[in-house]
Structures are given as C-alpha cells and as structure tokens.
Chain A
Amino acid sequence: MKSRSTTASHCAEAKLPPVDLSQLDPDWSRLITAPDGTGTLRTWHVLDSGSDQDNGFKGTVLCVHGNPNWSYMWRGLIGALTGWRVVAVDLLNMGFSERTGDQRRFAEHVDDLGALTEALGVTGPVVTVAHDWGGPISMGWAQRHLDQVAGVVLMNTGVARPEGVRVPPLISIARSTLRATCERTPTFLHGALRMARPQLRGEIYAGYTAPYRSADRRSGIRHFVEDIPVLDSHPTHVPLGEVAAGMSLLADRPALLLWGANDIVFSDAFLHDLMARLPHADVHRYPDAGHQVMEDTAALGERGAIGAIHAWLDSLDTTTEADHVARAAAPTDTADTTERQPMWSAIEARRGDNSAAVIEMDPDAPARVANTISFDELDRRVSATAAGLVHAGLGPGDRLASLVPPGIDLMVLVYACLRVGIVVVAPDAALGLDGMRRALRSSRPDVVVGDWRGLTLAKSLRLPARRLSVDPLPASLARSLGATDSVSALAERNASTSTIAAAPTGDDPAAIVFTSGSTGPSKGVVYTHSQLEAQRDAISAAFDVRADDRLAVAFAPFAVLAPAIGIPSVIPAMDVTKPAELCAADLADAASSLGATVVFASPRVLANITETTADATDAQQTALRSIRAVATAGAPVSPELLQAAEAVFPDAAIYTPYGMTELLPATVASADEIRSSATDRGVCVGRPLRGVEVEIRPAEAPTGTLPAALAVGEVGEVWLRGPHRCAGYDGLWAQQRHAFVGDWHRSGDVGHVDASGRLWIEGRVDHLIHTADGAHTPVPIELAAESVAQVDQAAAVGIGPIGTQQIAVVVTGASLDKAVVADAATAAAVRAAIVPDVAAVLVAPKIPVDRRHNSKIDRSRIQTWANDVLRGATRPRL
C-alpha cells in the first residue's frame, strides 16, 4: 500500500503562466493531459521549444526543476539551444501544473515523468538536465529509458546523502515547521530564492514566485521538503536508494556536473559523491556561485551554466567543427623512444651517497644551517614515507593536499607521493589565506598534511579530508586539530617495508598546482607524471643546469625541484608569505653553506637583493659574486633590474623565462634580449625553448576554435604547446574548453613574434584597450610612459565602454605631486612619449601587483580605480 499524506490538499487545474513574466516566451508554454503513473488523468504545464527541424533535429533536452522552483529556471537555456527540442516540465503540484490534492512522493514523480514523456512523444536521443530534487527524478527516469539517454547534466543535487553530511539547519527547520514555513507562508520559497548570488532582479524574482502566490498553491513545496528521507524508515528511502545504486547503469553515458560551490544544502560533498558515481563526468565547479547556479552564473556568458550546457551538448555531436579542430590540432603520434626518467629516479640513483642533498637555513638565525639531509637519507625517507602513506590507506589517484612549508619535509612528502602515484595538491602560501581556502575546497583532497597552522586551516574549512601532521603533535593538540597520525611516525613504522605497488605511468595525474589569480580567479592546474618530468628537463635545459651545479632556491614553486635533477640545493631563511623580503646577506649565507652556483628567484626578490647588497659584508658579497647563473621566474625583468643584478652577480648569466602555470618555462630571454626592449613594442621574452612552439593567433577567437596563425609582427593572442604543457584544469570544464584546444594552450597574453623569432609580450587579452580607432596593447604604452624621467611605474588602462574606450595612463613617481591628475608638465611629457591619444594621466599612490610574484601589475584593479576617478568619484580608493 502506498503511503499517502492523510491531510487533504487543494485540487486545482493546471494553467498557463501569466503572459507578462520576464524573459519567458508564452509560445513555449503548453498544457498536456495524460494518465499519470497510476492511470489517473493529469494535466502538466511544460515549456516546449518544439522540434527545431531547421537546424537538424539532434534530440530532446529534458529539463527537470527542483524545489521550490519551476520550469522558469530553464528559460535561458531554452532560448540558447538550437537543433534541440527542449522540454522543461513543471512537476505535478509544482509550477503551473495540476494540484492533485494528494502528496506525490519521489517514486511517483519518477513514474509521472515517464508518463509525461510518453504523452509528449519524446522519442530519439534524450539528454536530461536537472537541478535539486529534479536530479534524482531525472536519474530515475534515465535508468528506465537507457535506450534513449544520450547524456545527463546534473546541478547542485544528490542521489544520496554522503557519509558524515548532516541535514542542514535550513532543511531541519523547514521539516519541523512544515506547514508554517513551506505552505501557509512563503518562508521556504523566499529563503531558497534569496540564496541567489547576486540577488535576483525584481522581475525575475517575481517570475519564480508567480505559481506559488497563495498557500493552496504551495502544498507541493511542503511535500518535497517532507519527502527528504532523513530516516531509513522514510517511504522514499528505498526508492531513492535504488536510483543511487542504479547510477552505475549510466557509467557509459556522457555526463556533465555543474556546481555552485556556495550551496548550504548541496555542498561539495554531494558533488564528490556524484563524481564517484559518474567518474567519467565532465565537471565545472563555480567557486562564487551557490544553489541557484543557473541564475548565479548568468553573467559569466559562455562560461556560465547555460553556455557550458550549450557547448557540452555540441561536444556530444562528434561531427562538430570544434572536434575537427581539436583532432587537427592533436600532436602527430611520434613514438617516444627515450625511456622515462621518473621524478624520483635521480634520488634513487644517488642511494648510498652521503653528501648533502638539501640544506635548510634557520629562519630565526639566517646564517645558521637548520637542517641537512643527504641523498642517501633522502632516498630512505622517501621510501619509508611512501610505504607509510600506502599503509595509511592512500593509493594511486588519491589526492593529498600539502600545507607543509618549503623545506626537507616537503620534499620527502612530495617525492613519496609521486612514487606511490598519490596526486599532490599544492596550494602555495603566496595565494594568500583566502586563495588557499578556495584552492583546498575546489581540489577535494582525500588527506591534508600540514604543520599545526595548515591543519588549523583545514579544520576551519571542515574539509571531509583526513588530517595528518608532518611530525607527531602533542596528543591534545592532535586531537583538537583532528590529526589522526603524523607522516613521520607513519614513515618510521614502515621504514623496513620495501614493497610499494607498481610505479604510476606517465599519463597518471601527478600534481595539482594553482594559477596565481593575478590574471583571473585562481585555477587548479593538473600535471601528469610525464608532464612534470618534461618540465624538470625543460628547466634544466633553459637555465643550462649541469650535474655539478648547486642551487639556492628563493622561488617557492621551484623549491622541490633540485632532487629531481639530482643536484643539491639550499633553501634560504625566508618567510614563504613574504618572499620579497629576502635580503642579500641571507641569500649569501645560504649560498655559502652549499657553495651554490645557481640562484632561482623572482624579479621582486632579485630587486630586494640588489637593494640590500650594500648592507652585506665583503665576504657575503664575494659569495654572491661566485654565482654563475641566476634564473628568474614569474614576471619579466626590466633592463634596470638586469643592470643592478649584473652588478651583484658580475659573472652570472641571467636568464628570464616566460611561461604560465599551464606551461612553464616556454621561452627564455638572455640579458641582451632584455636590453633590447626599447627596440620593439612590448617586453622581449626571448625565444621558445626546444620542444616548445609559440604562435600568435587573432585575439578573442571564439572558444574551441583554432584560428590560423598571424604573420611576423602582427599582434594577437599567444598560443603555446610543448611536452610540459599541463593536462588541463581541475573541475573547470567550461574554462578548460576555452584555454586548451588540442594540445595548444591559449595563454590570454597578447604580443607578437619578430622577424628573428623572438616573442614580445604586450599585455593581456582582457586588458586590451578598445578605442574607436581599434585595439591598443597596454605594455608598449606603459614602457613609453616609464621612459619619462619623473615616472617610476606606469599602467595603461581603458576607460569606458568597449569600442569607444579612452586611454588612461596611471603613473607613480617619488617626485610627483600627490594630486590625482598629473601636473601639466608630467602629463605633457607622458603624452609626448605615447603615440595614441591619452585622455588622462593620473598619479596613483601605488601600482598594485599580484601576491605571488609581487610583480605582475594588477591592471583590473587599476582600471576600476581609474574609471572611478575619471567618472568623478570623490574619494577613490586603490
């Protein structure tokens, strides 16, 4: 016998929505009457775009809303798709469908949906698109119509409550006061709609509430809340469990998971649960969107939910142009005959070698060596730690987030993970606390390893990951931080275990690192083992690192690299969150401790070293003079900095590579090339490394296309490929599709290649200044402005609407008046140095730069400031 609510609800016929709802085409609405799952005639309201025969019928997109929504949530999608019949249903007792007077539980909604699609004559391939309660209902439908299912799209939903996830307070409160909050008053309805970020505009909000204006229209909302099976005895527990178990039936169907990450109901844990059930699914997680993901991502254009579904549907059709392009762009299959050298092989090769592999200087006494480890000891600790991690239940493909500061412990952990095939998630401290939080949440680690600070962060995020400390913590601290064990204790207990499963293959994921966020929200970048190995080899080649070199590493991202090359390294005493404060004396002491021959540093660190060399002792200055190579990374080096660095390191070759988190290094510039900067537009970043190809293509090419390369000297977007290009982004399907086409990466940088093959960077695509005369790149304008004597730093930004922008040049200079508008002489000098018309020369208190490299100009922030200033704002803040 079916369990039904005994309290009667109102009956009401289905009806058409009011014709004046914002963005809803009344032509899409229709009422359809058919027998429901029990044979009773019911009437549904559906939005139905009809078969688009003009564009070659591809199939049906079946959209199922959740609670307390209705088909209105799919209006943007219906308008966006061509070639598909889009059917968006209002579930019975919801939206403008019939009020049946009884309670329809989950299982009945699944039956009803099947009855409806039959009545609608939905034949041929079907892609389901669903949100919230619509998710399990659509999955129930899909599992019964496997012959029709061409793909499934799920958004902020779940088929089972993941282990350890409690019912959120919003739902608990709603369930304990069902009638009051869900039916008699619109409290639950408004609560759910106000979760939208940004808040819905008035007319859209009105569209969502239109079918639920009175208590007698809201019984369906109450019933859905009541139908959440909190207890195993709940009538929906079994049917929902069957759908969850049946997800494996869909393992061979394309799947797309779109997720608003700030959802207090369907948290990341539900996303991870679905990813585990549909491991092949394409995933795009929107870090700033919430439960109403369709609305929250509307402003993101083609990377929002509508754009992603559109593009993903296109990708199902194997004859699309983008796929042809991707295939054409794929690398020709050259059999790789050289044997792989795994990241840990150089350490293994030096087993028994008792010379120092890594030296750590003491942050509290920078001249003192804090710790040293030999190659032999490093090898043994890596093996023991690998065995310990395996013993702790970690294996290939699991994700381990490291919040361990650069140093010996970090190296041991990283190489142990690589050896086992555990994916190292490395949110570096330079991302800032907020950036690290976002990185950790987005990368869903299985385990987090850190010192007490890192574990405190992990705990505050309530990540479901296990927590391990680096070294054993006092029992009470370990308990309060939730640390179940320590990596060093695990290693010690397994020091004699020598059997580790087969080494990972070159195509297995090895690491996830993060973009700095200086050129957009920070993204997780996935590297495979062979890509990491190729990167190691590219770095060695780019900076001519030899077997007898010794590295002083003042650039955190490269801090773990030296052992993979098989050479010793020293880590100077520095605060990882403030790398720019490393002074010449401390670097010299570190270099002396090892007899370092090569220094890795960011341009900002290098600048600080040149500025503090005078404070170093003669002995320290002598130590610096013995350096034979200085490799910078992260940002371009100015000719002035180059000159200053050459004074400190007179015998050193100074290398400046260019690249990005997705492909680093890509080119390398010699000192002479940097000095040539004034001879062409932009900053010279040198020539591509061996194996790397660089091409300039038209800026702002449509996503998924591979436009033909431009000629020498022409300005466009910089595209690159090479063996050490990353595999892609982590859980950012729509972004991935934009940034990677075949084996190419489009960098978002603009520039040109000169007649002798050198690459010149002129700025970012997003920072092009689109005036009425055409697009101008910012860097040549900035360099021209900086050629004016009283100007230290300059940033060029576009003011006003794209296509009719004006150029503003924002400058800093110690001698400049503090007024916002530059004095007449400075403005005249800056304008005289620049070819296109400059509307305004402004003086800023500072030019903001990104956190990680401390050197990339944050033009977006400057642009916002300059726009405010030039609009007439009273107290503009930068």
Chain B
Amino acid sequence: MKVLVTGASGLLGRTVATTLLERGTDVTVLQRRPSGLECREIRGDIRDRATIDAAVANQDAVVHLAARVSPTGAWQDFVDVNFDATRSLLTASRAAGIDRLVYVSSPAVASSGEAHVGAGGLRADPANTKSHYARSKALAEQLALAADADDFAVTAIRPHLVWGPGDEQLVARIVDRAASGALRVIGTGAALIDSTYVDNAADAIVAALDRVEFVRGRALVVSNGEPRPVVELLRGLCTAAAVPFPSSSVPPSAAKSMGAVIEAVWAIAKVDRDPPMTRFLAEQLSTAHWYDQRETRALLDWEPAVSLDDGLARLTTWFGAQPIRPRNQDF
C-alpha cells in the first residue's frame, strides 16, 4: 500500500509517517518544511492544487493531517488551510483513484464550551464551536465524511490533546510558560482532562487505515483513556522538563475574560505569535474533557501501547537529552 501523509512536519504527522515506514509501507509526505524523514517527500503548500495533484498521484491511501492549528488568527486563513485544502485533497484523491482517506480531526469540533464527561458519539457542531480552528476543522470533517463512498472510504480520527517528545504545540507552550513564570492553573485545577501520547495517536491512525471498512463514514475520538486533573497533567509535563510548577491559580471566569481581552489586543496589533491565553484554551483546561473509548478501541482493534506514566518517562528522557533548555518567551 502506498500512503500519502500530509502535514508530516508536525509531531503527529511525523510519527504517523515513521510508524508506517517502520512496517515497510511506501510513504510519501507532503509539507512546507523539510521533514527529515527518509522517504519520498513533496514540499509545498497544501493550498496549492498543483502540489496536491502531484502528491496524490500513484497513491493508494491518504492520511490528512496538514492544518492550521494556531489558537488565534484570521478566519480566512483557517478556511484556506483547513477547509478549502481538504476539499481539494478529497477531490484530487478520488480523481487519482485513491480508495481510502483518514482525516485527522479533533474532539474540539464537537465542543460548544460544555464539559465533555465520558462523552461518546459526539457530532461535529461547527455552529457552536468556540475557535476558528475548531469551526474550520468541524466543517472540513463534515465535508470529508460526506465524501465517503463505495469506492472511497473516509474516516475521521480525533486524537485529543496529543503530546510527546519534540511537541511544539502543547508541551512546548506549557513548559515555556512555566519556565518564564507565566503559567497559571485555572480554577481548582481539578477538571479531568484526557490526553494522547503521540505514539498511541499514530497507532490509532494506522489502525484506521487498516480497518477503514469498520469505521468508514464515522468520526472516532482517540485518547489514552487516562484522564487526570489538569493540574496533574501540567505538573507532569513540567516535571518532565525540569521546570518549576506554579502554585497560584486564576479563576476560570477571569481566565476567560482575560483571554477575550488579549485576543482582541492581538488581533489589533497583528502580532505574529500566539497569545498566552485564549478563551478556547481557558475552556479546554478549566472544564472536563474526556471520552468514552470503548467503541473506538473495539472498532479499531487498538489499545494505547504507551501509558501516561510511560509517556512522561519518555518525555523526561527526551528533555534530559536536549542540548539546550527550551527557549524562554517573554510573556
């Protein structure tokens, strides 16, 4: 089987490509920056039709991870990358005779600000999502699943809070903020949050490729199935990175209004860096987000191979081996 992986410069995309390569799959990766992987590589912009056409040629399957994941930014940027590019990829894939596509999504597509407590069977709800990212991903997920057809199997896998060594998203942001003393725990810090160690998410995505007949037309949340109070999770990440963990906390309401003000300031100033707190992140970390994993595991015939504790141990090892400390940011 020949598999195209888009967005392989990110942590999860790279791990999916590696996992496939390790089992001897013929992998092609598509992204802007060099992936550093030893496989066929197409570098280019996912928004470019010609790049997509070149990438899907002669492939059997696609794992589509490329996305704009920033918590802020202009809506049109999210539409361009997350929605329009997905539509192009779906069209091109069918035209190229590809018979299966795994769309990598997020439980955020079903998040309207309410807690997710052991939630299952969540439907994408673009009208009520709370961020440009989530809304654009929700619309794209609906589009992708609607494209499922007899000769073109499409499934959506939604890993929740992926983290691991080399993570530039969750881990780096938290560790950087803790290192600069800017990390605050929101509320009691007790909200139960599940997360996904990157290898487990990659395994689940590969399992979805293999078992697409069982999961086509559906969206499945994937996680470690080990929810923890958010303060424990953050503390675990900071401990792994050997940075001090804060003791003071911010009430969730204050965090949300703070997030709104900062978002507005960022929008005016057009500062090309993520603000320290956005409403979306405040909600994600101050209300429960964990999921019923029974159906996912049964359908994918998959279990997380790396437990939360094992993952943190690997992260500790990785940080220990880093030549320089993670960069300090000044907010």
A contacts, CB < 8 Å to B: 772, 799-801, 803-806, 819-821, 824, 827, 837, 839-840, 842, 867, 869-874, 876
Does B227 touch A at the CB level, under 8 Å? yes
Does B26 touch A at the CB level, under 8 Å? no
B contact residues around A869 at 8 Å (CB): 188, 190
Tell me the bound Cα distance from A821 to B115 in angstroms: 18
Question: Is A804's CB under 8 angstroms from B120's CB?
Answer: yes
**Chain A nearest CB, measured from B105 CB (Å):** 20
Does B187 touch A at the CB level, under 8 Å? yes
The 9 A-B residue pairs with the shortest CB-CB distance in the complex, in nearest-first order: A800-B118, A872-B191, A872-B287, A804-B292, A870-B192, A820-B188, A801-B118, A821-B229, A804-B118
Does B286 touch A at the CB level, under 8 Å? yes
Question: Is A872's CB under 8 angstroms from B226's CB?
Answer: no
Question: Is B191's CB under 8 angstroms from A870's CB?
Answer: yes
What 12 new A-B contacts, CB under 8 Å, besides A821-B231, A839-B192? A799-B117, A800-B117, A800-B118, A804-B118, A804-B292, A804-B293, A820-B190, A821-B189, A827-B232, A869-B190, A871-B115, A872-B115
Q: Which residue among A821, A870, A873 has the maximum number of chain B CB atoms within 10 Å of its CB?
A: A870
Q: Give the size of the chain B interface in residues (CB under 8 angstroms).
A: 29
7 examples of A-B residue contacts, CB within 8 angstroms: A772-B294, A804-B118, A806-B118, A819-B189, A839-B226, A840-B190, A871-B192
| Residue from B191, B226, B253 within 8 A of A871 (CB atoms) | B191
With A806-B118, A871-B115, A874-B251 in contact, is A800–B290 under 8 Å at CB?
Answer: yes
Question: Is A839's CB under 8 angstroms from B118's CB?
Answer: no
Tell me the bound Cα distance from A80 to B232 in angstroms: 48
Question: Is A871's CB under 8 angstroms from B117's CB?
Answer: yes
Q: Which residue among B227, B286, B287 has the maximum number of chain A CB atoms within 10 Å of its CB?
A: B227
Does B311 touch A at the CB level, under 8 Å? no
For B247, the closest partner residue in chain A by CB is: A819
| Residue from A772, A804, A821 within 8 A of B190 (CB atoms) | A821
Question: Is A821's CB under 8 angstroms from B118's CB?
Answer: no
Tell me the bound Cα distance from A574 to B42 in angstroms: 85
Question: Is B293's CB under 8 angstroms from A870's CB?
Answer: no
A contact residues around B2 at 8 Å (CB): none
A contact residues around B135 at 8 Å (CB): none
Tell me the bound Cα distance from A840 to B294 in angstroms: 20
Does B252 touch A at the CB level, under 8 Å? yes
Q: Which residue among B229, B232, B235, B239 has the maximum number of chain A CB atoms within 10 Å of its CB?
A: B229
Tell me the bound Cα distance from A821 to B245 in angstroms: 15
Does B228 touch A at the CB level, under 8 Å? yes
**Chain A nearest CB, measured from B239 CB (Å):** 8
B contacts, CB < 8 Å to A: 115, 117-118, 120, 187-192, 225-229, 231-232, 235, 239, 251-253, 286-288, 290, 292-294
With A806-B227, A839-B228, A872-B252 in contact, is A799–B192 under 8 Å at CB?
Answer: yes
Question: Is A871's CB under 8 angstroms from B288's CB?
Answer: yes
For B309, the closest partner residue in chain A by CB is: A831
| Residue from B189, B191, B290 within 8 A of A806 (CB atoms) | B290
For B286, the closest partner residue in chain A by CB is: A872
A contact residues around B232 at 8 Å (CB): 821, 824, 827, 840
A contact residues around B190 at 8 Å (CB): 820-821, 840, 842, 869-870, 872
B contact residues around A821 at 8 Å (CB): 188-190, 229, 231-232
**Chain B nearest CB, measured from A40 CB (Å):** 55
**Chain A nearest CB, measured from B306 CB (Å):** 14
Tell me the bound Cα distance from A806 to B228 in angstroms: 10
For B292, the closest partner residue in chain A by CB is: A804
| Residue from B188, B251, B294 within 8 A of A804 (CB atoms) | B294
A contact residues around B294 at 8 Å (CB): 772, 803-804
Tell me the bound Cα distance from A110 to B4 in angstroms: 78
B contact residues around A772 at 8 Å (CB): 225, 292-294
B contact residues around A805 at 8 Å (CB): 118
For A875, the closest partner residue in chain B by CB is: B188
**Chain A nearest CB, measured from B3 CB (Å):** 30
**Chain B nearest CB, measured from A317 CB (Å):** 39
**Chain B nearest CB, measured from A868 CB (Å):** 9
B contact residues around A820 at 8 Å (CB): 188-190
Tell me the bound Cα distance from A800 to B190 in angstroms: 14
Tell me the bound Cα distance from A800 to B294 in angstroms: 14
Tell me the bound Cα distance from A800 to B286 in angstroms: 17
Question: Is A874's CB under 8 angstroms from B290's CB?
Answer: no
Question: Is B227's CB under 8 angstroms from A839's CB?
Answer: yes
Tell me the bound Cα distance from A819 to B191 in angstroms: 13
With A803-B294, A804-B118 in contact, is A837–B226 under 8 Å at CB?
Answer: yes
A contact residues around B227 at 8 Å (CB): 806, 839-840
For B245, the closest partner residue in chain A by CB is: A824
A contact residues around B231 at 8 Å (CB): 821
Q: Which residue among A799, A821, A869, A876 has the maximum number of chain B CB atoms within 10 Å of its CB?
A: A821
Tell me the bound Cα distance from A873 to B235 in angstroms: 20
A contact residues around B235 at 8 Å (CB): 824
**Chain A nearest CB, measured from B331 CB (Å):** 25
A contact residues around B253 at 8 Å (CB): 874
**Chain B nearest CB, measured from A343 CB (Å):** 52
Q: Which residue among B120, B188, B252 has the maximum number of chain A CB atoms within 10 Å of its CB?
A: B188
B contact residues around A871 at 8 Å (CB): 115, 117, 191-192, 287-288
**Chain B nearest CB, measured from A267 CB (Å):** 41
**Chain B nearest CB, measured from A825 CB (Å):** 12
A contact residues around B287 at 8 Å (CB): 871-872
B contact residues around A872 at 8 Å (CB): 115, 187-188, 190-191, 252, 286-288
Q: Which residue among B228, B239, B252, B287 has the maximum number of chain A CB atoms within 10 Å of its CB?
A: B228
Tell me the bound Cα distance from A772 to B297 in angstroms: 11
| Residue from A806, A839, A874 within 8 A of B188 (CB atoms) | A874
Question: Is A840's CB under 8 angstroms from B192's CB?
Answer: yes
**Chain B nearest CB, measured from A341 CB (Å):** 56
Q: Which residue among B117, B232, B251, B253 has the maximum number of chain A CB atoms within 10 Å of its CB?
A: B117
Tell me the bound Cα distance from A820 to B188 in angstroms: 6
Tell me the bound Cα distance from A183 to B253 in angstroms: 50
**Chain A nearest CB, measured from B291 CB (Å):** 8
A contact residues around B288 at 8 Å (CB): 870-872
**Chain A nearest CB, measured from B197 CB (Å):** 15
Tell me the bound Cα distance from A804 to B286 in angstroms: 21
**Chain A nearest CB, measured from B279 CB (Å):** 14
Tell me the bound Cα distance from A81 to B176 in angstroms: 63
**Chain B nearest CB, measured from A536 CB (Å):** 49
For A876, the closest partner residue in chain B by CB is: B188
Tell me the bound Cα distance from A24 to B288 in angstroms: 37
**Chain B nearest CB, measured from A278 CB (Å):** 47
**Chain A nearest CB, measured from B196 CB (Å):** 15
A contact residues around B251 at 8 Å (CB): 874
A contact residues around B290 at 8 Å (CB): 800, 806, 839
For A772, the closest partner residue in chain B by CB is: B294
**Chain A nearest CB, measured from B233 CB (Å):** 11
For A827, the closest partner residue in chain B by CB is: B232
Tell me the bound Cα distance from A821 to B193 in angstroms: 13
**Chain A nearest CB, measured from B153 CB (Å):** 27
| Residue from B117, B228, B252, B286 within 8 A of A840 (CB atoms) | B228
For B239, the closest partner residue in chain A by CB is: A824
Tell me the bound Cα distance from A876 to B188 in angstroms: 9
For A866, the closest partner residue in chain B by CB is: B190
B contact residues around A876 at 8 Å (CB): 188
For A824, the closest partner residue in chain B by CB is: B235
For A842, the closest partner residue in chain B by CB is: B190
Question: Is B192's CB under 8 angstroms from A806's CB?
Answer: yes
For B236, the closest partner residue in chain A by CB is: A824
With A801-B118, A872-B190 in contact, is A840–B229 under 8 Å at CB?
Answer: yes
Tell me the bound Cα distance from A379 to B168 in angstroms: 87
For B249, the closest partner residue in chain A by CB is: A819
Tell me the bound Cα distance from A873 to B228 in angstroms: 15
**Chain B nearest CB, measured from A866 CB (Å):** 9
A contact residues around B286 at 8 Å (CB): 872
For B225, the closest partner residue in chain A by CB is: A772
A contact residues around B117 at 8 Å (CB): 799-801, 867, 870-871
**Chain A nearest CB, measured from B244 CB (Å):** 13
